[in-house]
Homo-oligomer: A and B are copies of this chain.
Amino acid sequence: MDLERSPLARPFPDVSAIAGVTPRIARAGYKDWGRCDLTFVELAEGTAVAGVFTRNVCCSSEVELGREQVKLGRARALVVNAGNANAFTGYRGREAVEAIMAQVAQALGCEPSDVFVSSTGVIGVPLPQDKARAGVAAALEAPECSWEEAAATIGTTDTFPKGAVATAVVGGKTVTLAGIVKGSGMIAPDMATLLGYVFTDAAVDAAFLQRCLAAANESTFSCITVDSDTSTSDTVLAFATGKAGNAPLAGFDDTGADAFAAALHDVCRQLALLVVRDGEGAQKLIEVRVTGAVSDDSARKIGLAVANSPLVKTAIAGEDANWGRVVMAVGKAGEPADRDKLSIGFGGTWAAREGLPLADYDEAPVAAHLKGREIQLEVDLGLGDGRATVWTCDLTHGYIAINADYRS
């Protein structure tokens, strides 16, 4: 199936080289795609790693292994297979991952546990070891590629390559963070999400990198949803090569640590929003801002109930300010809410305040707002100070077309 580029796509940013990080791509031929499908990123010795992973109980071997590897805190390489998720493939799937780890470790002279593997695509077909072996061999010999090429190669139903970049000054040194991400469907926030990778030349202690990544994830990747379906392979990894020469960051008391954490959060937020912009069938980006909840956590759950509601998402697709459906979604979240204190707005215009439709409600500015590509939906609970922002996309015929037809 040929997918049209999302109308919400953004141009790929200008990403400079990150010292200590060398991306390469090759063609393993996992599917009949006329393009590369294996991404190999070599990392300098001494690179620290952190990761967050899917909480889906039926996760892939890649995720099981990655969770253990991250505890060691070291990385020398990343391999991403596109076109086959290698999930629900039993011992054969695990053997395929271990074979890739061994092959790369031998080539680089490192431990197999220093080699991180991700796979994305169809579930239930073991990754063919012969194709993987030939693909890895080709990648080891391939010239360095651009970040945009790497971002395109990790994609599956993605319609545009997704990258983000940020810088921070740490102890007088400028460090760069660059990230790539793939994801379009099977996106739900009960976990890390999809496949995302952030690379930086900053020197960061692995434990502190993990702490910063987990915090950033909470309000970025964990606050997006496309279809409430939670992938078996979701992974976000952050790699820090230390080549920028700053004094290593080990805690928030260190000079520049706040700036680094902010830059990491910035990259994660950019990447998360790009995934929603490429949500399957998406025509509109929807930002749900929840205020006045009893807690931030409650606000996030309410925001996700709204963002996951098929009736809210189809109303936005139809450019219909159907705030009644928003009320319904708030009510089903199971969180504290009082119908008679609830207010709903679109793009800064209240449609209902404190449990009642506004008597002088002027739908014209709301109708104009809903015709745009980027929709804001405001929900005020009127109960407390809890707030959260979550992002999703509308639900359109495109989602049905893509998913009633993907595997065949």
Contacts of A186 in B (CB 8 A): 311, 325, 328
Chain B residues with Cβ under 8 A from A324's Cβ?
85, 87-88, 122-124
Q: Which residue of chain B has its CB nearest to the CB of A88?
A: B327
What would be 10 A-B contacts, judged by CB atoms less than 8 Å apart?
Answer: A57-B331, A88-B357, A123-B327, A190-B332, A229-B309, A229-B310, A229-B329, A314-B400, A320-B407, A400-B400
CA distance A88 to B330 in the complex (A): 12
- Hey, which chain B residues are within 8 Å of A334, CB to CB? 57, 190
* Chain B residues with CB under 8 A of A123: 324-325, 327-328
Distance in angstroms from A284 CB to nearest chain B CB is 11
Contact between chains at B404 and A332 (CB < 8 Å): no
Asked whether B56 lies within 8 Å of A328 as measured between CB atoms, the reply is yes
Shortest distance between the CB of A189 and any CB in chain B (Å): 11
- Complex CA gap A408/B318 in Å reads 9
Q: What is the interface size of chain A, counting residues whose CB is below 8 A from a CB of the partner?
A: 68
**Do B87 and A332 touch across chains, with their CB atoms under 8 A apart?**
no
A residues 84-139 touching B (CB-CB < 8 Å): 85, 87-90, 92, 122-125
Given A88-B355, A332-B230, A355-B90, CB of A124 within 8 Å of CB of B56: no
CB of A17 to closest CB in B, whole Å: 37
Interface check A52, CB cutoff 8 A = no
Identical chains bound together, number: 2
The reply to whether A396 and B407 contact each other, CB–CB distance below 8 Å, is: no
* B404 near A315: Cβ-Cβ < 8 Å: yes
- CA of A333 to CA of B232, assembled, Å: 12
Contacts of A333 in B (CB 8 A): 57
Q: A310-B399, A323-B124 are in contact. Are A328 and B232 (CB under 8 A)?
A: yes
Assess whether A337 is interfacial by the CB under 8 Å rule.
Answer: yes
Say yes or no: B356 contacts A90, CB within 8 Å: yes
User: Is there an interface contact between A311 and B229, defined as CB atoms closer than 8 Å?
Assistant: yes
Q: A122-B324, A188-B332, A332-B190 are in contact. Are A311 and B227 (CB under 8 A)?
A: yes
